[in-house]
Structure 1
């Protein structure tokens, strides 16, 4: 792998792309230290301490610490991701958008423009929720104009991140949006490691738990890699056909069906729904009877809530895994495309039989992936509850980190193979 990076660095074009990608990520990290005006950072830190291990900690982890510092990137890139998901779902439901998606490059640019507009609108909604909801106790404004400055700062930060992500995708190496999320999560790892060591040195937690966490982190990395790379290859044979004086087809190929086709999206969807009780508590009086009931029964901070939360979280992850996989892999359309191109699965009739076979195969393959994804998601919450340490090296964070590394490695591998360099793949 080291030799592959050396070979890539020797190629001027790839070297420029790598430097551009690193420069854009540096700009992102520098922007993470620009605070939003009219916000009391001490009040925000007190709120985080009172909600340690809750939804705010998760939001802060996924944003690279931008929420706890309330920088201009407090909303991060997630309004754009949410907008992309919404547009993708609407493309299936609205015929005009579906037709637009089939118009090639022109249609893709229009859909990308709609996604940006929706992302800005969602960022504005999130900024308003921060200003007048979750962080209302930290706002030090005296008039509506100053509130507007806070909202516009957060929205402008999201818009800048969208631009940075698109620039990395176009002129750099890898997917820009994924790399921004990756950089934010990785930036938190040294801080969490240092905090864990300090807790162990102060006697707040046992050193044995630190060792267990490190071993478990390595095991999760291997497990996530296997989960991301696991797939079943369904053989496909194309019939020979003569067109004019030439013969086409006759080759054999396969359909790669991944175990974790949906990626991390089911966790994000499930986490969003399960965060509603915590958000209700934060936006109300925490000492009220209703707030205490919700905290004890429906949040990870409660003794009973951690069990109910874990069970509901697993059910939602399994549901959304099947839901998102069905959106991504349409077995009916895939079967039609195979039949139109003269392809068939050996031993399976073309048409509906192929669609049913693919559907059964996907359902059987997705189930263990969904269960594994659910366990990875709840491990950090359970360990944080029963050990007192903030375990951020598992679940969503590691799935994203490992997935982005593998994706970027593939992109670099393709760049090298185009120039006949020996890369990662053997």
Structure 2
């Protein structure tokens, strides 16, 4: 794999990958601020003002605020995540997919292609539901058919673009691109939350001790999550002394690391996708 600008050793390649990640996140955040054509911003603001604390707010958080602005990336990466998880479950129960999984790289590419098709299908279903809901709330400037067509095409294209962007980050950047996009979307609301807390402290609604308590709890939660993610139980594995031909191999000892959190973030993401999918339609 060749990365533009990565011609001078490992450090240069690392900087090239970091630069690619930064550019991808910037593109993602710019797209989250481009609204779908025909949206009435005043009616949209009223709708989200009435929906504070509901599942719509959770959906908006995962989309990085794109849903609140009804941007071209309003559906976020959730259709891809739902399709990927469903495909993982199907590979365990469908013999054809299970056989594909055992074929190595070729099978993996085929399953990835099926996941992309599933993403387009789920994004289309969700887009139709969102478009119908918005039209029913009188948020569109256009006629129903015109708005439905524009909104569905825009939302599906946005989800496909995020799927492609996440795959590019995985290939040319650092870490898992899909997880990075989810992280970027959630963290995008952090400056606003900090600003609100600071403003509340300035106006006297929140005292200094309360502000410090929030900061300590936030740091403690992050530290606990990192600790649990890194923690592992090492199971000792002993290899007996063996002889192969004229060679005698001495007994060896190794260990098998078992993480406490073997499933990672898949269960909460799967649960969130199950909750958000019905809400979007």
* Alpha-carbon shift at residue 245 of structure 1 (Å): 4.8
Gapped regions of structure 1 (runs ≥ 5): 1-7, 284-426
**Structure-2 residue corresponding to 1:235:** 236
Q: Does the alignment pair 1:105 with 2:105?
A: yes
Measured after TM superposition, the shift of residue 24 of structure 1 is 1.6
Instruction: Name the structure 1 match of 2:26.
Output: 26
Contact 2:134 2:140 in 1 (8 A): no
CA contact (8 A) 1:130 1:136 kept: no
Q: In the alignment, which residue of structure 2 is the partner of 1:165?
A: 166
RMSD: 2.6
- 2:44 matched to which residue of 1? 44
Counterpart of 1:211 in structure 2 is 212
1:222 aligns with 2:223: yes
- Once residues 140 and 276 of structure 1 are traced to their aligned partners in structure 2, the CA distance between those partners, rounded to angstroms, is 26
Q: Residue 184 of structure 1 corresponds to which residue in structure 2?
A: 185
CA contact (8 A) 1:32 1:66 kept: yes
| Unpaired runs of at least 5, structure 2 | 1-7
Structure 1 distance, partners of 2:59, 2:254, is 43
1:40 positional shift: 1.9
Pair 202,242 (structure 1): closer, same or farther in 2 beyond 3 Å: same
Contact 1:227 1:260 in 2 (8 A): yes
What is the TM-score when the length of structure 2 is the normalising length? 0.87
Alignment of 1:378-397 (within 5 A): none
Single out whichever of 267-276 and 190-199 deviates more from structure 2. 267-276
Contact 1:141 1:147 in 2 (8 A): no
Question: Is the aligned partner of 1:16 residue 2:16?
Answer: yes
| Paired residues, number | 273
Quote how far apart the aligned CAs of 1:133 are.
2.6
Q: CA deviation at 1:202?
A: 4.1
1:69 and 2:69 correspond: yes
- Superposed CA deviations along residues 291-339 of structure 1, whole A, max 9, x for unmatched, are xxxxxxxxxxxxxxxxxxxxxxxxxxxxxxxxxxxxxxxxxxxxxxxxx
**Relative contact order (alpha carbons < 8 A, sep ≥ 6): 1 or 2 greater?**
2
Structure 1 residues 171 and 275, CA, compared in 2 at 3 Å: closer, same or farther?
closer
Q: Given that residues 231 and 258 in structure 1 are in contact (C-alpha distance below 8 angstroms), is that contact kept between their aligned partners in structure 2?
A: yes
CA gap 1:24/1:275 in 2 versus in 1, 3 angstroms: closer
Once the two structures are TM-superposed, the CA of residue 255 in structure 1 deviates from its matched residue by 2.1
Q: In 2, are the aligned partners of 1:131 and 1:139 still within 8 Å (CA)?
A: no
Q: Describe the shift of the 1:243–1:126 C-alpha distance in structure 2 as closer, same or farther (beyond 3 A).
A: farther
Q: Distance in 2 between matches of 1:266 and 1:135?
A: 33
Instruction: Kindly state the Cα deviation for residue 250 of structure 1 after the two structures are TM-superposed.
Output: 4.0
Supply the distance in 2 between the matched residues of 1:151 and 1:158 (Cα, whole angstroms): 11
Counterpart for residue 269 of structure 2? 268
- How far apart are residue 195 of structure 1 and its match? 2.2
Q: Find the residue that maps to 1:254 and give its secondary structure.
A: strand
- Farther-moved stretch of structure 1 (251-260 vs 222-231): 251-260
Displacement of 1:153? 0.5
SS of the equivalent of 1:232 reads: strand
What is the CA deviation profile of residues 385-408 of structure 1, one whole-angstrom value per residue up to 9, with x for unaligned ones?
xxxxxxxxxxxxxxxxxxxxxxxx
Q: Distance in 1 between matches of 2:206 and 2:48?
A: 20
Deviation of the 1:85 alpha carbon: 0.5
Determine helix, strand or coil for the equivalent of 2:188.
Answer: helix
Q: Counterpart of 2:165 in 1: which secondary structure?
A: helix
Q: How far, CA to CA, are the matches of 1:246 and 1:124 in structure 2?
A: 63
